[in-house]
Amino acid sequence: MRTLFTLPFPHHHSLRHRFLLTPFSSFPNPQPRTQNNINIISQIFTILSLPKWRKHPSLNSLIPLLSPSHLTSLFDLTNLDPLTALNFFTWIQRKHRFIPTLHSYHPLLLLLLRNRLLNAAENLRNSMIKSCSSLQDARFVLNFLRQLNNNKNPQGLGFKLSVTSYNRLLMCLSKFGLIDEMVGLYEEMMLDDEVSPNLITFNTMLNVHCKSGNVVAAEICFARLLRGGFVPDAFTYTSLILGYCKNRSLEKGYRVFRLMPEMGCQRSEVSYTNIIHGLCEDRQLDEALKLFLQMKEDGCVPTVRTYTILIGALCALGKETEALKFFEEMAERGCEPNVYTYSVLIGYLCKESRMDEAMKMLNRMLEKGLPPSVVPYNALIVGYCELGKMDDAMGVLGLMESNKVYPNARTYNELICGFCRIKSMDRAMGMLNKMFESKLSPNLITYNTLIYGLCKAGVVDSASRLYHWMIKDGFRPDCWTYIAFIDCLCRMGSVLKARQIFESMKENNVETNEIIYTALIDGYCKAGKTEEAHLLLKRMLAEKCLPNSITFNTLIDGLRKEGKVQDAMSLVDNMVKFDVKPTVHTYTILIEEMLKRSDFDHANRILHQMISSGYHPNVVTYTAFVKAYCSQGRLQDAEEVVIKIRKEGILLDSLIYNLLIDAYACVGLLDNAFGVLKHMFDAGCEPSRRTYSILMKHLINEKHKQEGSYAAGLDLCPTNIAADDAHLWKIIDFEITTVLFERMVKYGCVPNVKTYSKLIKGLCRVEHLDLAFKLLNHMGESGISPSENIHNSLLSCCCKLGMYGEAMRLLDSMMECSHLAHLDSYKLLICGLFEKGNKEKAEAVFHNLLCCGYNYDEVAWKVLIDGLVKKRFVDQSSELLNLMVKKGCRLHSETYSMLMQELNGV
């Protein structure tokens, strides 16, 4: 019971104080009783005590000051007449558009019940249910009304739920997807002797089960409906159609649809739309289109949802013309497309990589003034991320924010995935901060994506730390988490560590699958341990985990590279025993082996066998032939293969172009090599760093020939063009790069920012920094702005070489261009400045770093732990940690514990 207190009201009306009901534990405390709040409540109470309170001159000026919390206190803390309270509550909503919260309904309902105004309480209860605007609201109302429904509740106010209130509450729970709570309430209703369910009750339950595809529960509900003596109506049958379609029981759904007229139920737009949706999901588009025409004959007008479903189905089958025809027809028939219609078309265009058209469609949608939705924006972000256009993807995020569309977890997960795909892990981790700022929590997909991205980028320490963070947050690692670590360790050659993680999966109750086995088998094969790989395959089969074609291909390739060709061929034959057919990759492995032996006849026989088996050779298959022909100087044959590739509509990759460029240059046809480069540019295939190194190698050789000297250390044989030549990058000078640019321009291949990026990165890898900076200046003179990649290559090299002054100047340039410096470079720079005794500069750099949008935990991992602590700068690390705390950079508890352990352990 609440203690008595006296409110110092300034007016002459005295209040009768009384004991008040103990509020429910889930109900928040009312607004603090400040003097100002008490004055507002007191004045309104005084006015409402008058007979003609609606006409009081002061009331209209007080209403704008009234908050839901004031209203709660007015009903809860005063002895206001209950009917006056109810009339005032209704009046301010109707006349002043006041929007009350559940906090206001709660005390008013109790006030009505204490005065036994049950009819008024019933109406208010139903209004309270209707006012729920969130999942939390629905749960609160359910618990509150359940307590009142219990005659033994602490307040002693038995207020049984009526069938209407039960139904409204069930509908409310359904709206917020609280199916378990619905089922519980429904069972309580069935056991309530004072209330009998009606058709609305059964239809509500049946519909929610059908929406979730739980046809078994829906059929049980339908049987109860019939046993209760109720006659199913159109809503009942329409719900059943939806349920059967969701459950992929299309025949049953169609049967109900056909029986509706026989049962005296007129089919509606919804019943037609449900069955059309089911047919489209089952890829029976022709049948769906027939029903679409039939619905018009049946007097049913297609809805926006009907059109949207058909447009989506047509897009899925690539029938764009028909989809757009339906889209235009909608507007002509007065059925305006909604956000979901536009989202379907935007999603289709994004999947087709037609991003400009997708953006135009979004703008068209916005011009229509349609309410904002996250769905089309997410589709655009996915499209840009898959193309690696992360600046454009981030631009869409900015557009969302400017249009007041709130990103969801999927938005950030897709951006994280996009940054991981291009190995920009600093930005990917930085997206976690954005998630937290948007009041969103990372999920298992977020963690797995980041862990996989960090592992793929070779940052295993950070991946491991994130793994522990994930567990601390209550997420259980799944097979995809383990795959990331196993695959990464295998690529790094740490097969034994990968095997240990693999064996630990059973201890953690995580099932192994063919993907994990394949990753480990691949690791053993790359380590030249095919016997252990073969034993793993046997264990895989013993555990009833069936290998797929990738598993077999991995082992076949491993055996072939070890020279065990006969074993590899036997394994190809064994694939059939496991109902696994050889793939393009399988045949390509065998072709590569035959070509390696210069057995072109055998290779061509395998190629014809592959085609006769129904497989089409891909670019990798043809590359094997091009490489073999080029290595033997058979350029005419190589060109014929390229012509064949183009005829078959296969896109050439940089490897084939590099092979041809190197082959032509090796036989002295350097002009032809640059002609191939021109084809490369025209085809939109970006030259690699290796492309430019091949051309410069032959330009150097040409120069030495003209001078009558010998180009020492240059390998001119076109055999291993995949490897990068470190020696070459060390001997390149500005004269050769100038000749390269001149030749490129001559053949219509104007050097661009990507050209400079490849060259500067190649030079920085071998610490040939003088020439790298000369090229940076040359860019500026040519009117080309440096990219973020160029800046980062130079910055990293400066830090490694201890050129900290130059590094800081580069940082300033990057900030001016809004370029993000890699965290590893910051680590090297800050540690280097501390080593040089430049504490103030180091702290200034760290201060700027905290404003760059990095994930604060990763800053602590890399800069403080991996950088300063490991170099024994413990005090400096502590000081920078304090700076982070002062700036409000919140660290995860796991990171903080890790950091304290490192600091105390030194």
Per mean pLDDT, which range of 154-158, 759-763, 870-874 is the poorest? 154-158
Tell me the whole-structure pTM to 2 decimals: 0.78
Give the residue carrying structure tokens 């454009």: 392
844 or 720, greater pLDDT = 844
- Comparing CA positions, the residue from 70, 71, 112 lying closest to residue 88 is 71
| H or E stretch covering 221 | helix 215-227
Q: What is the pLDDT of residue 628?
A: 95
33-43 b/e with 16+ CB inside 10 Å = b? eeeebbbbbbb
266 or 17, greater pLDDT = 266
pLDDT category, 158, cuts 50, 70, 90? confident
Enumerate residues 6+ apart whose C-beta is below 8 A from 277: 245, 309
Distance of alpha carbon 523 from alpha carbon 30, whole angstroms? 63
Q: What is the pLDDT of residue 33?
A: 43
Alpha-carbon 492 to chain mean position:
28
pLDDT at 146 over 60: yes
- Contact (CB, 8 A) for 400 and 407: yes
Mean of pLDDT values over 823-841: 94
pLDDT at 4 over 50: no
Per mean pLDDT, which range of 30-39, 431-440, 489-498 is the poorest? 30-39
The average confidence (pLDDT) of the chain is 88
List, for residues 132-141, the tens digit of each pLDDT value.
888 889 999 9
Give the residue carrying structure tokens 């949608």: 365
Q: What is the DSSP track for 249-293?
A: -HHHHHHHHHHTTTTT----HHHHHHHHHHHHHTT-HHHHHHHHH
Cβ-based neighbour number of residue 472 at 10 Å: 13
* 3 state SS of 373: coil
Burial class (CB in 10 A: 0-12, 13-18, 19+), 319: middle
CA distance to 442, 483, 657, per residue, from 449 (Å):
11, 11, 33
Q: How many CA atoms lie within 13 A of 211 on its CB side?
A: 13
pLDDT at 313 over 50: yes
pLDDT category, 659, cuts 50, 70, 90? very high
Q: What is the pLDDT of residue 717?
A: 56
Mean of pLDDT values over 469-483: 92
Give the percent of the chain with pLDDT over 90. Answer: 65
- Comparing CA positions, the residue from 824, 840, 680 lying closest to residue 748 is 680
Distance of alpha carbon 484 from alpha carbon 460, whole angstroms? 10
List, for residues 399-444, the tens digit of each pLDDT value.
999 999 999 999 999 999 999 999 999 999 999 989 988 889 999 9
Alpha-carbon 345 to chain mean position:
20
- Comparing CA positions, the residue from 308, 324, 227 lying closest to residue 273 is 308
List, for residues 854-902, the tens digit of each pLDDT value.
999 999 999 999 999 999 999 999 999 999 999 888 898 889 888 898 8
List, for residues 314-352, the tens digit of each pLDDT value.
999 989 999 999 999 888 888 999 999 999 999 999 999
Distance of alpha carbon 431 from alpha carbon 854, whole angstroms? 8
Q: What is the pLDDT of residue 149?
A: 84
Q: What is the pLDDT of residue 53?
A: 87
List, for residues 255-273, the tens digit of each pLDDT value.
999 899 988 888 899 999 9
pLDDT at 578 over 60: yes
Residue 883 has which token pair? 């700076």
